[in-house]
Structure 1
Amino acid sequence: MRFEGTDAYVATEDLTMAVNAAVALERPLLVKGEPGTGKTELARQVAEALGLRMIEWSIKSTTKAQQGLYEYDAVSRLRDSQLGDERVNDVSNYIRKGKLWQAFEAGEKIVLLIDEVDKADIEFPNDLLQELDRMEFHVYETGETVQARHRPIVIITSNNEKELPDAFLRRCFFHYIRFPEPEVLKKIVEVHHPGIKQELLSVALTQFYEIREQPGLKKKPSTSEVLDWLKLLLAEDMDPADLRREGANALPKLHGALLKNEQDVHLFERLAFMARRQGR
């Protein structure tokens, strides 16, 4: 069972090695990187390539680790007991299975994605240490122990918004997805926009990397944003000459796809103003 990338996902050699190492070690793969570099999509493509079902647990700031195991609805049970409902005699009727429970009881090997783990409270990763390590947990209300029938391939993503605990990191195989080099990004673009004219692609990517490397930029545009930008350029039937003319004024065409806050827009507006003054 080896991952080599897919037709829809350009995986670098070090990324495929990381995925296969995590699978061989049977440890969670912790994937970090800038937002929009394909961390979540990686899990989907690993599942697709290996022919496995995927269960996705999207983490929010309010998510607790217990929710991934199960939740006990004591309020509903109390209400039903007051109404004389016979369901109250079986406590399992009030147990809601979480994503880890669903993954553990699966009848086949699956991919479990724990997406954006750094959004939750700092204690969240620590609260899952034993469950991810031993692949089992105890249900106190019913007295049962839930064990993984098949150890899932666990992929955990992080946008690096906060540091993760050392004890959690020790149990993971770590990989950082670096922003792709121009040649790799070209391959990614060609997967999403097959047949794009090479001259337009070359001019657009040159301008894109210049934007990313601009000093003072608050949020660098990501892979997903350059794909959106190119989609708009193609929809508007732009040609390389249009981009070159715009590049001379420093503010890129359709810049709303690349610049996502007013500070960065103002930065390029100032650069455009200075370029026009110097051109007089």
Structure 2
Amino acid sequence: MTLWRIYQGVDRPHDRIADLPPPPPWREFDGGRDGTLAAVDRDAVGGGRRRLPHRAAYRADERTVDAVNTALYLRRPLLVSGDPGVGKSTLADAVARELRLGPVLRWSVNSRTTLRDGLYRYDSLGRLEDAGLARHQSDAPAGASAATDLGRYVSLGPLGTALAPYALPRVLLVDEIDKGDLDLPNDLLDVFEEGGFEIPELTRAADQQPTVAVRPHDGGPAVRVTRGAVQCRAFPFVILTSNGEREFPPAFLRRCIRLHLPSAHQDGARLRAIVEAHLPGAGAAAEAAVGAFLARAATGELATDQLLNAVYLLAPSAGAAGPDRDRLLDLVMQHLNDAPPGRP
């Protein structure tokens, strides 16, 4: 089984992504064959954003490891569901770090999010202002505004960057997709099926500027876009997270690999492993917080990050008196399904 597992859920980065076989014929993409491949720093996990500490591995069980590898082999998105705090988002960091795939591209979804938000942004106002300025400069050559570099006004979003023609797959986290508009899952279908998209503003100007260098979402080297078409070479590893707040259309679900992460709220060993991964050496503070968390989770909804907050607060004052510790736990381990204070 180890040979099949490109991602192994270990704490050592490695280059086994090179062993990933060619995709199925129906998932082949040919972006970047003309030598315009974008580059990425493969070891720059996190890209300056929140990331999994390098000293600790994400605790992935065998089912999670197999789901990740299935998505990698089939070049399909991985739809991960589960309660808040079970590690849905952290899985993306773990895969990117172990397989040395560069910074995770994060796209946080809300009720106003559209597909274009994830693909690209076009600064039409900035271009209009620059064109007007060029016209008013007496020493500007004729046609200067038409020759303006369009790449100055276009930037790729996290999804658009993931679909750029990288030699190796980028890791994209689409966080809380169930909070998005009802049409967003269906809007994503064509993009995931085609492995690319078009930037109409660049397509219209393709006769004047056939190739344009645009800024990627993570601030890395510019991506060259030819005739307005962005097409991946390696389909990105996409994690879509869901808190189970809505159902998705069957057409969307059949194009995803699905994984449900069970809650760790009554699993003391797993909770201790999570604490050790994020706050190693917490000792007695961790034991006290885990015990309190297990007791409180039996009577109401809690999230794992509440446990981590409690351990962090208790660790420097492990010898504090009982009442002070209890007050801290009351503050950070309030049940998420309780009514706010003052309300019935």
TM-score by length of 2: 0.66
- Matches of 2:117 and 2:198 in 1, distance apart? 14
- Matches of 2:255 and 2:280 in 1, distance apart? 40
Residue 172 of structure 1: CA displacement? 0.8
1:227 alignment counterpart: 308
Closer/same/farther in 2, CA of residues 61 and 207 from structure 1, 3 Å limit: same
1:118 and 2:178 aligned:
yes
- Matches of 2:339 and 2:308 in 1, distance apart? 19
1:168 and 2:252 aligned:
yes
Residue 57 of structure 1: CA displacement? 1.9
1:242 alignment counterpart: 322
2:200 alignment counterpart: 140
What letter is aligned with 1:113? L
1:102 alignment counterpart: 161
What letter is aligned with 2:161? Q
C-alpha contact (below 8 Å) 2:302/2:334 kept by paired residues:
yes
**What does 1:150-169 align with in structure 2 at a 5 Å threshold?**
150-169=234-253
Residue in structure 1 matching 2:111, options 49, 61, 66? 61
- Matches of 1:197 and 1:56 in 2, distance apart? 33
Q: How many positions carry a matched residue from both structures? A: 256
1:36 alignment counterpart: 85
C-alpha contact (below 8 Å) 2:86/2:263 kept by paired residues:
yes
Residue 129 of structure 1: CA displacement? 0.9
1:3 and 2:46 aligned:
no
What letter is aligned with 2:132? Q
Residue 264 of structure 1: CA displacement? 6.0
Residue 44 of structure 1: CA displacement? 0.8
C-alpha contact (below 8 Å) 2:7/2:99 kept by paired residues:
yes
Residue 230 of structure 1: CA displacement? 1.8
What letter is aligned with 1:4? G
Q: Which has the higher helix share?
A: 1
What 5-or-longer segments of structure 2 have no aligned partner?
1-5, 12-55, 136-143, 204-227
Closer/same/farther in 2, CA of residues 221 and 140 from structure 1, 3 Å limit: same
Residue 256 of structure 1: CA displacement? 1.3
Closer/same/farther in 2, CA of residues 87 and 57 from structure 1, 3 Å limit: farther
Q: Secondary structure at the match of 1:174?
A: strand
What letter is aligned with 1:82? G
1:255 alignment counterpart: 330
CA offset digits 1:112-167 (Å, max 9, x no partner): 11122222211112111111122011222222321102221111112223333322
Identical residues among aligned pairs (%): 35
C-alpha contact (below 8 Å) 2:286/2:315 kept by paired residues:
no
Closer/same/farther in 2, CA of residues 156 and 87 from structure 1, 3 Å limit: farther
**What does 1:190-229 align with in structure 2 at a 5 Å threshold?**
190-197=276-283, 201-202=286-287, 204-214=289-299, 217=300, 220-229=301-310
What letter is aligned with 1:185? L
1:185 alignment counterpart: 271
Closer/same/farther in 2, CA of residues 126 and 5 from structure 1, 3 Å limit: farther
Residue 84 of structure 1: CA displacement? 3.2
- Matches of 2:337 and 2:59 in 1, distance apart? 32
- Matches of 1:35 and 1:262 in 2, distance apart? 13
Residue 106 of structure 1: CA displacement? 4.7
Q: Calculate the aligned-residue CA RMSD, in Å.
A: 2.9
Residue 88 of structure 1: CA displacement? 4.1
- Matches of 1:66 and 1:197 in 2, distance apart? 47
CA offset digits 1:66-86 (Å, max 9, x no partner): 122223333333333333353
Closer/same/farther in 2, CA of residues 233 and 105 from structure 1, 3 Å limit: same
C-alpha contact (below 8 Å) 1:5/1:16 kept by paired residues:
no
What 5-or-longer segments of structure 1 have no aligned partner?
267-280
Residue 173 of structure 1: CA displacement? 0.5
C-alpha contact (below 8 Å) 1:31/1:155 kept by paired residues:
yes
Q: Secondary structure at the match of 1:57?
A: strand
- Matches of 1:192 and 1:76 in 2, distance apart? 44
C-alpha contact (below 8 Å) 1:80/1:88 kept by paired residues:
no
